[in-house]
Amino acid sequence: MSAEEGPDVAAAELALGLLEGEERAVALRRVLAEPGFAGEVEVWRGYLGQLFDLWPEAAAPAGVFERVERTLDAPAQIASVRAPARFWPALAGLTSIAAAAALVFIVVRPNPLPAPPPPVAAPAAAPMLVASLAPMDKSATAMAAVYDPARGQLRLTEASAPAANRSAELWVIGDDKTPHSLGMMKPEGGMRAVAMPMRAHLAPGAMLAVTIEPLGGSPSGKPTGPIVAMGKLSTV
Amino acid sequence: MTDVSPEIRARAELAEYLVRTGDEDRAAFRELYLRTNAKLFGIVLRICGEREAAADVLHDVYLTIWKRAGAYEPSRASPITWLATIARNRAIDWRRAQKIRVATPLEDAPDVADSAPLASDAMLAEESRHGIQVCLDELEPNQRDSIRTAFFQGVTYAELAERVGVPLGTMKSWVRRGLARLKECLER
């Protein structure tokens, strides 16, 4: 930043949503790399939260809640939204896209089977990827991740549980240099399906990172808390 | 605790409805909607700029709330701030996806001095020794208006500069100096 453009207040700028493009990407990388910066962003979110008091109200149009209920009751939504809800809070908006993609896939299958297997996006020959996530913080333990591109499944070893009022969120930073959430870590580890839109980011050289976030994950969908473990994906 | 203020009771009830929504209690979710839809629609409408799109975004906001409510932690955030943050972020996501530039002047941001805090959120003011509203009032008008517009309308530097008709560097300089002074005041 040039001197004539003012002091460094990137944490506030990120919390306010002023940045775009490369400037935003730089600030998001700082959130991952600098725990102090991540903390500052959270403090700014708290300050700005006080301004919600001032926001003028406007009665919502009739029928919105009924639409919400219909969406929740639709069978396609229950399968795609309810089950992974706790597991994928940060990906809430993407689950329906993934479900739609799955639906299209099933519909266009030339040879309808009674019970079609889960759709597979990656080429069958794609090699398995592994990452060893080194702890960046004494509260964390080392973890390993294995990703199977053919099935879109990520297996994680056990992780140390975050404090009771925090969640550990898993991110992938790929070619676009932007952190994308892969959902919350479970202390017991285990297998998880990676949402379709996220799969392209899981490639050799991509970084996996775990940050400590407010319960349920980063409210903004981007990392805000300190990074506790990270490691690079590589082929087996 | 026989004499709980209505503000604290309203906040506690809202937190209760949110927690029960997390347990997939539809009746609690409906009550939560009834109590918060005007606030959240106000946020979404201002950022989206058109009612029809705002109604669609509001639908997504409440679906997100339904999905994430199980993760809400009452000791960490006031329920309305938690809900409002989801609404603001969803509306900004929509707005950026549209790449629209709404030609609204800076003065359209709500007037800080005239607005009384909502009952349900009045407690928040106690959480900072110098509330952000007081500190915003200490800034130069161009700094204050730009920061308020960024918050209430979810716009970027480029959009702010375009609206006011100043070069991007000038707008960044105003806002950055303003944010630095705001930080000093808030930490005082």
Residue range B154-178: mean pLDDT, rounded: 94
Q: Within an 8 Å CB–CB cutoff, is residue B38 touching chain A?
A: yes
How many domains are there within chain A?
A: 2
Sign for the CA dihedral angle at A179, A183, A188, A191 comes to: negative
CB atoms B42 and A55 under 8 Å: yes
pLDDT of residue B25: 96
Residue A69, domain member (yes or no): no
CB atoms within 10 A of CB B146: 28
CB atoms B118 and A53 under 8 Å: yes
Q: What residue ranges define each of the domains in chain B, with the CATH number in brackets?
A: 1-100 (1.10.1740.10), 103-188 (1.10.10.10)
Residue A75, domain member (yes or no): no
Regarding whether A216 and A101 lie in a shared domain, the answer is: yes
CB atoms B63 and A92 under 8 Å: yes
Amino acid type, B63: L
- Backbone phi and psi for residue B29, each to the nearest 5 degrees, phi listed first: -65, -40
Sign for the CA dihedral angle at A33, A36, B149, A180 comes to: positive
| Chain A residues whose beta carbon lies within 8 Å of the beta carbon of residue B19 | none
Pair A156, A185: CB distance under 8 Å? yes
Flag residues of chain A having pLDDT under 50.
77-124
Q: Within an 8 Å CB–CB cutoff, is residue B186 touching chain A?
A: yes
Regarding whether A233 and A164 lie in a shared domain, the answer is: yes
Range of the domain at A21: 3-54
More confident residue, B3 or A196: A196
| Strand pairing class (A207-214; A129-135) | unpaired
Sign for the CA dihedral angle at B155, B64, A226, A21 comes to: negative
The nearest CA of chain B is from the CA of A33 a distance in Å of: 22
Residue A166, domain member (yes or no): yes
The distance from CA B129 to its chain's CA centroid, rounded to whole angstroms, is 20
Asked if pLDDT for residue B111 goes beyond 60, the answer is no
Residue range B113-131: mean pLDDT, rounded: 43
CB atoms A64 and B175 under 8 Å: no
Q: Who among A58, A68, A89 is closest to B68 (CB)?
A: A89
Residue A39, domain member (yes or no): yes
The nearest CA of chain B is from the CA of A92 a distance in Å of: 6
Regarding whether A154 and A106 lie in a shared domain, the answer is: yes
Pair A106, A117: CB distance under 8 Å? no
pLDDT of residue A68: 95
| Chain A residues whose beta carbon lies within 8 Å of the beta carbon of residue B67 | 81, 85, 89, 92
Regarding whether A220 and A129 lie in a shared domain, the answer is: yes
Q: Who among B73, B88, B172 is closest to A215 (CB)?
A: B73
| Chain A residues whose beta carbon lies within 8 Å of the beta carbon of residue B43 | 52, 55
Regarding whether A215 and A121 lie in a shared domain, the answer is: yes
| Strand pairing class (A207-214; A166-173) | antiparallel
Residue A214, domain member (yes or no): yes
CB atoms A165 and B182 under 8 Å: no
Residue range B16-24: mean pLDDT, rounded: 95
Which of A64, A67, A222 to mutate: most B Cβ within 10 Å? Answer: A64
The string of pLDDT tens digits covering residues B49-104 is 899 999 999 999 999 999 899 988 887 778 998 899 899 989 998 988 886 555 44
Q: Within an 8 Å CB–CB cutoff, is residue B37 touching chain A?
A: yes
The SS3 of residue B154 is coil
Residue A80: closest C-alpha in chain B: B67
Asked if pLDDT for residue B110 goes beyond 60, the answer is no
Regarding whether A92 and A32 lie in a shared domain, the answer is: no
Regarding whether A89 and A44 lie in a shared domain, the answer is: no
Residue A197, domain member (yes or no): yes
Residue A62, domain member (yes or no): no
The b-or-e profile of A223-236 (16+ CB within 10 A means b, else e) is bbbbbbbbbbbeee
Between CA B108 and CA A125 the distance in angstroms is 57
Least confident of A2-11, A119-128, B30-39, B151-160: A119-128
| Strand pairing class (A207-214; A227-232) | antiparallel
Over chain B, what is the mean pLDDT?
83
CB atoms A53 and B117 under 8 Å: yes
Between CA A42 and CA A121 the distance in angstroms is 37
Residue A163, domain member (yes or no): yes
Question: Which CATH number goes with the domain that contains A137?
Answer: 2.60.40
CB atoms B80 and A52 under 8 Å: yes
Regarding whether A227 and A143 lie in a shared domain, the answer is: yes
